[in-house]
Structure 1
Amino acid sequence: MKRDINELVTKIRDLEAELEEKLIERRRDLQFKWTNNRAVFSREIETRQRKLKISARRFFANSGILEILTSPFIYAVTLPLILLDIFASIFQLVCFPVYGIRQVKRRDYVVFDRHRLAYLNVLQKINCTYCAYANGVLAYVQEIASRTEQYWCPIKHAARVKGAHRRYAAFLDYGDIESYPESLEAQRKALKDEPENP
């Protein structure tokens, strides 16, 4: 049974790699190139993008009153996100060297680039920046938490977990007492031996 699960995990990873190749092809179709770690469009594409831009005033006017009234609730989460970002960074800075775990690179998760799209107005750019930060921080923290969980408690839950992190499938099955001591050590070793970009 465990071999079947490992084979499925391998197939999933292969499919993820295939998906990444397709996404790279799609990026080529959208005609941007990487220059100095930035996606850069040709002048012609940027000109076409600018023609599609909706003014900030029109964007605001076309927004529903309920959308406008809910925006303070969205942005109220900014401070907790900043605190989570800071505390998670300090946590891994202090703890991961002790555990022998490679630190998570924040820049791989918190990415700001959508504000450079010429077809977005200033309000859309602000919204995109907020969403990039919020989702990036949450993904960054999930990766820190998943490495911590793999080190300390790599055991699946009895109930099915939605949105489990990528490491979860390889965890020890719930209640498998026979495999626990060896599995815990194997999980820690795998974590320490993990390549730079898994």
Structure 2
Amino acid sequence: MSISRIHEICDQISELEKKLDAAIEEQSGRLPYQIDGKRVIFNADIEESHQHAKMGLLRWFMTVRPQNYLTMPFIYGMTVPLLFLDLCVSFFQLLCFPVYRIPRIKRADYFVMDHRHLAYLNMIEKMHCLYCSYVVGLLAYATEITARTEQYFCPIKHARKILGAHSRYENFLDYGEAERFHEKLQKIRIKLANEAEQEHKRK
């Protein structure tokens, strides 16, 4: 299969992903809530049904398996290294991206903490959701920082297929594509610099 055909298939996949996102967004739009800034507002009937569905703390604690409590220190003990990771990648981006003219990432785009507006979750469930939302957002944020760094220094695909490839991977050079490598690498870096400049103008 030719490289052009592979790029064509990738473009088709990208287009289908956009259609899927639009369909999911449309489906979500049918749910009875409105977004007002950072607040999510349900109508009165839905809010009342959510209140009825909420499980009380005593009942909730009684439904949790005893072995689950044993894992809690390990789960929430990860808070310290995760916060350290957050600090490190944020500082790395702040310090290094302007030097290499890599477009900076808006941190807030990756952290969505809206589960606290769901009245059918009790205080403990909201805390679990807050923690998970933070971790998932942090890993996505760190992945994008790493992806842009890799795009600058080593935009080369691997010989074997990898799972969970980041969003910029498909635009990397093919494995073993040695012809005019440094020229192509420079073009990629120029493209990143242009992206950074456009991002700066939008601010």
Question: C-alpha offsets along residues 35-92 of structure 1, whole Å, 9 cap, x if unaligned?
Answer: 1243321122111111111112212210111222111111111111101001100100
Tell me what 1:160 maps to.
Answer: 161
For residues 27 and 116 of structure 2, the distance between their equivalents in structure 1, rounded to whole angstroms, comes to 20
Distance, in Å, in 2 between the alignment partners of 1:155 and 1:140 is 21
After TM superposition, the score normalised by the length of structure 2 is: 0.91
Secondary structure of the corresponding residue to residue 178 of structure 1: coil
Alpha-carbon shift at residue 166 of structure 1 (Å): 1.1
Equivalent residue letter for 1:178: E
Letter aligned with residue 131 of structure 1: C
Residue in 1 aligned with 2:56? Answer: 55
**SS of residue paired to 1:177:** coil
Partner of 1:91: 92
Q: 2:152 is matched with which residue?
A: 151
Could you say which residue in structure 2 is the equivalent of 1:27?
A: 28
User: Which residue identity is paired with 2:62?
Assistant: A
Q: Does 1:109 align with 2:133?
A: no
Which SS does the other structure have where 1:33 is aligned? strand
Q: Which 10-residue stretch deviates more, 21-30 or 45-54?
A: 21-30
Task: Establish whether residue 82 from structure 1 lines up as the match of residue 83 from structure 2.
Answer: yes
Q: How many residues are aligned here? A: 197
Counterpart position of 2:120: 119
Moved more, 57-66 or 143-152: 57-66
| Residue 149 of structure 2 is aligned to residue 177 of structure 1 | no
Distance 1:48 1:98 in 2: 53
Aligned-partner residue type, residue 123 of structure 2: V
String of CA shifts for 1:137-157, please: whole Å, max 9, x gaps: 000000000000001100111
Work out whether residues 39 and 117 of structure 2, in 8 Å CA contact, stay in contact via their aligned partners in 1: no
Identity %: 44
Q: 1:20 to 1:37 in 2, by over 3 A?
A: farther
Residue 13 of structure 1 corresponds to 14
Question: Alpha-carbon deviation of 1:5?
Answer: 2.2
Of stretches 118-127 and 12-21 in structure 1, the one that deviates more from structure 2 is: 12-21
Q: Secondary structure at the match of 1:34?
A: strand
